[in-house]
Amino acid sequence: MKRSIACVAAIGLLAASSASAQKVDEFYSKTKLTLVVGGDAGGAHDAYARLLQRHIVRHIPGNPVVIVQNMTGAGGVVAANFIANVAPRDGSTIAALFPGNVVEPLLQKTNGANYDPRNLTWIGNIASLQLACFTWFTNEVKTVEQARQTEVIMGGQNAGSGSGVLPFLMNQMLGTKFKIITGYQTGDLRLALERGEIQGICGLAYSTVLVSTPRWILEKKLNFIAQTGLKRSRDLPDTPIVSELAKNPEDAAIFRLLDIRDALGRPYVGPPGMPADRTEALRAAFAKTMSDPAYLAEAKQAYQDIDFADHTEMEGIIAEAYRMPADVVRRVSDLTHK
């Protein structure tokens, strides 16, 4: 009798599991998956998303049509607010955000971030980011120590962007003499460097450089003097992380918070309260895509860096950021919201 009851229970669980899988399959066979990208069409985040779009469909039950929708504004905050507060919570919409969107609610003063990253449904992270600080190959400044002695004209997008914040922080805490000129779009920034209008860029993701102008790397056109991140880029093993150069523990903690932000360099997220079975299906599909030979081959051809982190690792990184001491958070906020 006990064996019979156990068999019936096992069959029931199997049937329930099968029904759940069928439910996910049916949903995605009839429903488009919208992938909201917080950046412009043609940018690095957009390029990563469109490559993911082409391959993840094979791994989602029901093989839905996946469409990319660009939603720009406030450095990804518009897209983050949308996914947190407006997007349907049925598993039909996820977003590709920027790393700064993870910590903006922690640091914000008036930037309009109206969400708590800890409440969102994290799917996966394609790669960490290392913001690179570099000069053009003809420039004499090739190290941070040399940048403490000689002024370097660094171009940037705006005061709140990585290319505006990182050189400012390095001036404040490492004593570099960067003259920061902001107001460039990313494409114009690259042209300005090649034309000699500026002498370097400090705070542009290494993976973005690799995707957008691979010839700079292949032809050794750049002197890399520093980088951010929880670990050194595989391609920049001899370039120091800025937190390694900090003069005291307080400054190191500030750089650490910025390093945590960049650890989630290509994060994908859903709204709060997504159905558990669809959440798990999307997380599994994302993870399978990250090891899919066809995807990896195309990513390599496009110079896209893959350094996958699953939702558990992402949630741990976010939790560390939100455990930072209040005085560290306040100082980072003051320094990055000029």
> Of 219, 218, 216, 220, nearest to 204 (Cα)?
216
> Number of C-alpha atoms within 13 angstroms, CB side, residue 331?
17
Dist. CA 335–CA 160, nearest whole Å: 10
> Number of C-alpha atoms within 13 angstroms, CB side, residue 95?
30
* φ/ψ bin of 63: left (φ > 0), alpha (ψ from -120 to 50), beta (otherwise): left
Q: Which of helix, strand or coil describes residue 114?
A: coil
Q: Which residue(s) pair with 54 in the sheet? A: none
Question: Does this model's pTM top 0.85?
Answer: no
User: What pLDDT does residue 315 have?
Assistant: 97
Which two three-digit tokens encode residue 85?
């507060």
Domain boundaries, the chain: 2-128+264-336, 131-261
Query: What value does the CA radius of gyration of the chain take, rounded to a whole number of Å?
Result: 22
Dist. CA 242–CA 229, nearest whole Å: 8
User: What pLDDT does residue 159 have?
Assistant: 76
Q: What is the CATH number of domain 131-261?
A: 3.40.190.10
Q: Per residue of the chain (338 residues), give pLDDT as tens.
A: 444 434 433 444 343 344 344 599 999 999 999 999 998 898 889 999 999 999 999 999 999 999 999 999 888 899 999 999 999 999 999 999 998 899 889 987 657 899 999 999 999 999 998 999 999 999 999 999 999 999 999 999 877 778 988 999 999 999 999 999 999 987 899 999 999 999 999 999 998 898 889 999 999 999 999 999 888 999 999 999 999 999 999 899 999 888 888 889 999 999 999 999 999 999 999 999 999 999 999 999 999 999 999 999 999 999 999 999 999 999 888 887 76
User: What pLDDT does residue 7 have?
Assistant: 45
Q: Yes or no: is domain 2-128+264-336 CATH 3.30.70.1150?
A: no
Asked, colleague to colleague, whether 2-128+264-336 and 131-261 share their fold, the answer is yes
User: What pLDDT does residue 186 have?
Assistant: 75
- Angle CA(216)–CA(222)–CA(225) in degrees, nearest 5? 145
Inter-axis angle of helices 2-30 and 276-290, nearest 10: 70
User: What pLDDT does residue 6 have?
Assistant: 42
Do residues 257 and 321 touch, judged by C-beta distance below 8 A?
Answer: yes
Q: Other CB atoms closer than 10 Å to residue 53's CB: what's the count?
A: 17
